[in-house]
Structure 1
Amino acid sequence: MSESERLRRWQLALGEDEQDLSERDRRLSQSLTALYQPQEKKSRGGLGASSPKVSRWLGDIREFFPTPVVQVIQKDAFERLNLKALMLEPEFLATLEADVHLVADLISLRGAIPEKSKETARLVVRKVVDEMLKRLEAKTVETLRGALNRSQRTRRPRHGDIDWGRTIGANLRHYQADYHTVVPETLIGCARRTKTRADLDHVMLCVDQSGSMATSVVYASIFAAVMASLPVLSTQLICFDTVIVDLTDKLADPVEVLFGVQLGGGTDINAALAYCEQKIDYPAKTHLVLISDLYEGGNAKAMLARVAALKASGVNVIVLLALSDDGRPGYDPHHAGVIASMDCPVFACTPDQFPELMATALTRQDIGQWASANDIALIRAV
């Protein structure tokens, strides 16, 4: 880095007299000062309440910073300057850098969004959902299909079911040097058979929709929709606070799922697990993923007893304290430790890790070993 560039950065960091800065650096300095300089030190009045002024400010930060940094600054602006009211204006919504946190904010404000802004809000959510599907869907489908088909290998597969990688590996001794090819005397692939509901693996996502779990709800909805598209799985999505919302019948459209979520409110995990329990027909084939920080507002003793009963019935119970990129959130350590003592894995998980987690669960492998191999810290039993 040149000496002049180092001096420029120090001037920006220290907020020195803007007259010594270039026009572009003055705009950059003003855009950060409006948000981060303490109010009593500001020579100007921050961003103000004017939507056009905020829109110009958003345009400036997009010019100066890459998208991940813009999303951080934008999130800080919502929290520091109470800009959420402006999100109800379609013109302002259209200028925002869309990400999972913005979707969570829009879902939490859903009831307050005026008619004129609803279509814009839906388009913003659709954009983020499409981007998330593009990032997560292929890996999820490939990972889960591979896990579910692994035990169904056959040496007489149909042409469309041939696993060419394994077939070539098994026939390398039949390599024909003159023709530069392998003669596949033995075919390896997946056996097809019609599955009844009793044959299917059943995945039940039970998701805490209290405010602190907002981004986890968004990711869980996306994954539920992807898993519901797999005919080899039966997938259910149940969201809860003190009220239970079964969104299983909306899984064909993740946007509809998200607009069916009601972020905020209290937490009654026991009631949600009781509802899930009623929906389980094949315990030994059911994987119940409870996504919650475990702060129980209902009957905590009954909640812990219900987890124990589900586990004893043969249900594969997994507790995720978060399903997000934000790291492990605050959680109830006592409830987490008690559930861990029931031989239920309790930990936080990122969206990129979730497909492999589910593949591990569906093949009944040791989730503790998988977590250790992926540097994921499990909650210790008490």
Structure 2
Amino acid sequence: MTDPDLERWRLILGDPADGCLGGPEGEAAERDAALDWLYGRDEELDRRDIRRTGGSGPSRLTTVDWLDGITRLFPKETVERLQRDAVERYEITDIVTDPEVLGRVEPNPALLRAVLRTKHLMNPEVLRLARRIVEAVVRDLVERLSTEVRHSFSGARARRASRFRQARDFDAKRTIRANLGHYHPGERRIYVETPYFLSRSRRHLAQWQVILLVDQSGSMLSSVIHSAVTAACLWGLPGVRTHLVAFDTEVVDLTSDVSDPVELLMRTQLGGGTDIGRAVRYASGLIEQPRRTIVAVVSDFYEGGSAATLVRAVRDLCEQGTIVLGLAALDEEADPAYDRECAQRLADVGAWVGAMTPGELAAFVAERVGR
């Protein structure tokens, strides 16, 4: 079977499709076996009386064999999806706890989440290999978010020329108009002799405190990762003093490690209960100028302590002029799942409640700091 469309359907349907599509051969059979190794363990198939069995590939695959196979057989995007399903959907933890397997995997966000969930199971050798995944993914996140943060804090572009030449301030319209005389019709190109750039208005930056309170419960893992990276990107910016505080039923101030998000994440302990009110009270003790402070509570708002105490603590902050953000998600998707009743009570006493990407949070902070 060589038709790509038929092969896709065969991969989707598995063995039951043999009657009308024929059995897979060659690499198609290997792809079929790799998919069956993962998705054939789905309990839903038994419930629906469906068995998806592989083709003529190997009957037994180890995790190492499977990883080697999918890397060879599928494009990178598909490999990352298969690895994510393996660790998050089917909890195949040896992907991040077996040294031989860890040496083969390509770092990606799904594996980072898996490492943070299972690092307490790892011996020192495995933990050293797992740290490679943490460092690679965090480095990529920092590079991407740093650009957004710098842009947010660099000031608005003014409509006047600048003698400072920076790519981000390139004035394309004026440059094209001024160089139309150098247009070559045969080549359909404009040769630029004089490029033009815009200036940026400099914001007056008074000192602000930004206090990130991060819920360490397992459901908030993506937000924990992005909170650590966001705090690292905000660290050292003019006009901003950043604090990072993690909490469950206890409160741990991680500010001393905020410039090293890798170390910070390796110290994170996921799970346990949740006492948001206690964390908010701790934050109130850090505040020096209430009207120049932003307290961002990153949580799903399923309060394990006293909801009344939490609401009272948030109300006290709002009444003294502190900006309180209740962020039900702080990650690239900004797709929250949270206790809406608790969140509404916080909104009723003056908190801003919603979800943000890290870039949106940086822009929000920059707007307040620049006022």
Superposition TM-score, scaled by structure 2 size: 0.79
In structure 1, what is the Cα distance between the partners aligned to 2:326 and 2:368? 12
In structure 2, what is the Cα distance between the partners aligned to 1:311 and 1:85? 47
For residue 9 of structure 2, what is the aligned residue in structure 1?
Answer: 10
Instruction: Classify 1:119/1:181 alpha carbon distance in 2 versus 1 (closer, same or farther; 3 Å).
Output: closer
Question: Secondary structure of 2:213's partner?
Answer: strand
Moved more, 7-16 or 305-314: 7-16
**What are the within-5 Å matches in structure 2 for residues 124-273 of structure 1?**
124-146=133-155, 199-273=206-280
In structure 1, what is the Cα distance between the partners aligned to 2:305 and 2:265? 25
In structure 1, what is the Cα distance between the partners aligned to 2:170 and 2:126? 53
For residue 376 of structure 1, what is the aligned residue in structure 2?
Answer: none
In structure 1, what is the Cα distance between the partners aligned to 2:170 and 2:87? 52
In structure 2, what is the Cα distance between the partners aligned to 1:235 and 1:220? 11
Question: Secondary structure of 1:281's partner?
Answer: coil
The answer to whether the 8 Å contact 1:267/1:295 transfers is yes
Question: Secondary structure of 2:127's partner?
Answer: helix
User: Which among 53, 56, 62 is matched to residue 53 of structure 1?
Assistant: 62
Cα deviation for residue 325 of structure 1 reads 3.3
For residue 310 of structure 1, what is the aligned residue in structure 2?
Answer: 317
Aligned-partner residue type, residue 8 of structure 1: E
User: Which among 302, 310, 329 is matched to residue 322 of structure 1?
Assistant: 329
The answer to whether the 8 Å contact 2:13/2:52 transfers is no
Aligned-partner residue type, residue 10 of structure 2: Q
Cα deviation for residue 141 of structure 1 reads 1.9
Cα deviation for residue 30 of structure 1 reads 1.0
The answer to whether the 8 Å contact 1:94/1:120 transfers is yes
For residue 176 of structure 2, what is the aligned residue in structure 1?
Answer: none
Moved more, 123-132 or 69-78: 69-78
In structure 2, what is the Cα distance between the partners aligned to 1:338 and 1:14? 48
Cα deviation for residue 362 of structure 1 reads 3.4
In structure 2, what is the Cα distance between the partners aligned to 1:243 and 1:32? 43
The answer to whether the 8 Å contact 2:239/2:369 transfers is no
Instruction: Classify 1:258/1:67 alpha carbon distance in 2 versus 1 (closer, same or farther; 3 Å).
Output: same
What does the per-residue CA deviation read over 1:16-40, in whole Å, with 9 as the maximum and x for residues that have no partner? 3497323111111111111213465
For residue 188 of structure 2, what is the aligned residue in structure 1?
Answer: none
Cα deviation for residue 43 of structure 1 reads 5.0
Cα deviation for residue 295 of structure 1 reads 0.5
What does the per-residue CA deviation read over 1:60-97, in whole Å, with 9 as the maximum and x for residues that have no partner? 22334343433332222124443214522222122223
Aligned-partner residue type, residue 21 of structure 1: P
What does the per-residue CA deviation read over 1:30-57, in whole Å, with 9 as the maximum and x for residues that have no partner? 111112134653657xxx9x9x821221
The answer to whether the 8 Å contact 1:216/1:322 transfers is yes
User: Which among 27, 30, 42 is matched to residue 30 of structure 2?
Assistant: 27
Cα deviation for residue 323 of structure 1 reads 1.1
The answer to whether the 8 Å contact 2:249/2:274 transfers is yes
Aligned-partner residue type, residue 238 of structure 1: V
For residue 380 of structure 1, what is the aligned residue in structure 2?
Answer: none
Question: Secondary structure of 1:75's partner?
Answer: helix
Structure 2, unmatched stretches of 5+, are: 174-180, 182-192
In structure 1, what is the Cα distance between the partners aligned to 2:370 and 2:218? 33
The answer to whether the 8 Å contact 2:240/2:369 transfers is no
Aligned-partner residue type, residue 144 of structure 1: F
In structure 2, what is the Cα distance between the partners aligned to 1:100 and 1:43? 30
In structure 1, what is the Cα distance between the partners aligned to 2:53 and 2:165? 69
In structure 1, what is the Cα distance between the partners aligned to 2:142 and 2:109? 12
What does the per-residue CA deviation read over 1:209-260, in whole Å, with 9 as the maximum and x for residues that have no partner? 1110001000110010111131331001001111111111112211111112
In structure 2, what is the Cα distance between the partners aligned to 1:86 and 1:77? 8
Aligned-partner residue type, residue 235 of structure 1: T
The answer to whether the 8 Å contact 1:270/1:298 transfers is yes
- The percentage of counterpart residues that share the same residue type is 32
Aligned-partner residue type, residue 22 of structure 1: E
What does the per-residue CA deviation read over 1:108-147, in whole Å, with 9 as the maximum and x for residues that have no partner? 3232210111211111111111111121112212212427
Superposition TM-score, scaled by structure 1 size: 0.77
In structure 2, what is the Cα distance between the partners aligned to 1:228 and 1:33? 46
Aligned-partner residue type, residue 89 of structure 1: D
In structure 1, what is the Cα distance between the partners aligned to 2:231 and 2:92? 31
Question: Cα RMSD between the aligned structures?
Answer: 3.7
Moved more, 68-77 or 308-317: 68-77
The answer to whether the 8 Å contact 2:87/2:114 transfers is no
The answer to whether the 8 Å contact 2:155/2:200 transfers is no
Q: Are 2:289 and 1:282 aligned?
A: yes
The answer to whether the 8 Å contact 1:236/1:248 transfers is yes
In structure 1, what is the Cα distance between the partners aligned to 2:77 and 2:359? 17
Q: Are 2:126 and 1:117 aligned?
A: yes
For residue 67 of structure 1, what is the aligned residue in structure 2?
Answer: 76
How many residues in Structure 1 have an aligned counterpart in Structure 2? Answer: 337
Moved more, 282-291 or 136-145: 136-145
Question: Secondary structure of 1:336's partner?
Answer: helix
